[in-house]
């Protein structure tokens, strides 16, 4: 029986994926590096330090360190969150329903904790989450399952009693590898939507999420 629901954040609670793209594109275009849509889709669900490492492997000898570049990108995302951030459809209703029915609620995001706190504050949803965890504190990010395993442990719930809501394919892989049920809500514009068939259920929007989905 499902006792806890673990949410991803970027692209699930808030349409922040464009913010990541804007921040990364702006920074790297100034260095003469043009990132394309295929690049951005491959980055989804990964930690920013992992993304920067990938880019640096292709374009070495950058003037700034990977850590400095990651901080600049995070700063850019936070600025955009504060200026434009809105909760995606169905988010508030889902959180309210889960809380009223006494499900434990956690958040497990690949984003830096500074961004997580910025998003939760902007959307005014901090109070719904019993546990908030960032992959920056794990050795590996998604698609490695450790972030979800750690979040379940922090919630004091067995992984098999958790359901994950995810928008990224890397996140779905991580949730299933953690022995959790997973409902995928991918961007309808994403490439290769058929691959999300590995999730227990695929929805077009969180507005379509039902409590009955938890134990079906």
The last residue of one of the domains, among 84, 104, 131, is 84
Question: Which DSSP symbol is given to 212?
Answer: G
Say if residue 91 is in the same domain as residue 74: no
Which residue is catalytic, options 10, 39, 49, 167?
10
Task: Count up the domains in the chain and report the number.
Answer: 2
pLDDT of residue 213: 79
Cα separations (Å) of 97 from 100, 124, 163, 207?
5, 16, 15, 12
DSSP state of 204: S
Residue 167 designated active-site? no
Whether residue 8 lies in the annotated active site = yes
Note the pLDDT of residue 166.
96
Range of the domain at 73: 17-84
Q: What is the pLDDT of residue 191?
A: 64
Together in a domain, 10 and 22:
no
Instruction: Specify whether 125 is located in the same domain as 189.
Output: yes
CA distances for 3 relative to 83, 131, 146, angstroms: 35, 14, 19
DSSP secondary structure, 46-105, as one string = S-HHHHHHHHHHHS---SS-HHHHHHHHHHHHHHHHHHH--BPTTHHHHHHHHHHTT-EE
Pair (70, 101) in one structural domain: no
171: left (phi over 0), alpha (psi -120 to 50) or beta: alpha
Residue at a domain's end among 35, 63, 84? 84
* pLDDT in the model for residue 35: 85
Give 58: exposed, middle or buried? Use CB within 10 Å, 0-12, 13-18, 19+.
exposed
Q: Which of 206, 208, 20, 13 is nearest to 123 (CA)?
A: 13
CATH code, 109: 3.40.50.1000
User: pTM for the full model?
Assistant: 0.86
Query: Which residue among 8, 39, 49, 167 is the active-site one?
Result: 8
- Would you give per-residue pLDDT tens digits along the chain (216 residues)? 999 999 999 999 998 888 988 999 988 888 888 888 888 888 877 888 988 999 999 888 888 899 999 999 999 999 999 999 999 999 999 999 999 999 999 999 998 898 899 999 999 999 999 999 999 999 998 999 999 999 999 999 999 999 999 999 999 999 999 999 999 999 877 767 889 999 999 999 999 999 887 777
Concatenated DSSP letters for 145-201? THHHHHHHHHHT--GGGEEEEESSHHHHHHHHHTT-EEEE---TT-S-GGGGGGSSE
CA nearest to 132, candidates 8, 33, 18, 24: 8
Are 127 and 62 in the same domain? no
Q: 140 and 65 share a domain?
A: no
Please say which residue of 44, 68, 84 terminates a domain.
Answer: 84
Record the tokens describing residue 18, joined without a space. Answer: 């464009």
């Amino acid at each position: 029986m499902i006792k806890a629901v673990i949410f991803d954040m970027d692209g699930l609670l808030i349409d922040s994926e464009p913010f990541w793209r804007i921040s990364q594109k702006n920074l790297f275009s100034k260095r003469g590096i043009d990132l394309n849509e295929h690049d951005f889709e491959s980055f989804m669900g990964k930690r920013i330090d992992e993304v920067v490492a990938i880019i640096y492997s292709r374009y070495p000898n950058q003037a700034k360190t990977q850590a400095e570049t990651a901080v600049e990108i995070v700063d850019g995302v936070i600025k955009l969150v504060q200026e434009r951030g809105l909760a995606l459809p169905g988010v508030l209703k889902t959180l309210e329903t889960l809380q009223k029915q006494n499900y434990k609620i956690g958040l497990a995001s690949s984003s830096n904790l500074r961004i997580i706190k910025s998003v939760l504050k902007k959307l005014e949803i901090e109070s719904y989450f019993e546990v908030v965890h960032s992959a920056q504190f794990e050795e590996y990010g998604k698609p490695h399952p450790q972030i979800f395993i750690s979040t379940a442990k922090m919630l004091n719930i067995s992984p098999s009693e958790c359901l994950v809501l995810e928008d990224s394919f890397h996140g779905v892989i991580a949730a299933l590898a953690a022995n959790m049920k997973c409902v995928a809500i991918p961007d309808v514009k994403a490439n290769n939507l058929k691959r999300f068939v590995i999730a227990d259920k695929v929805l077009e929007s969180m507005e379509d999420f039902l409590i009955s989905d938890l134990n079906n």
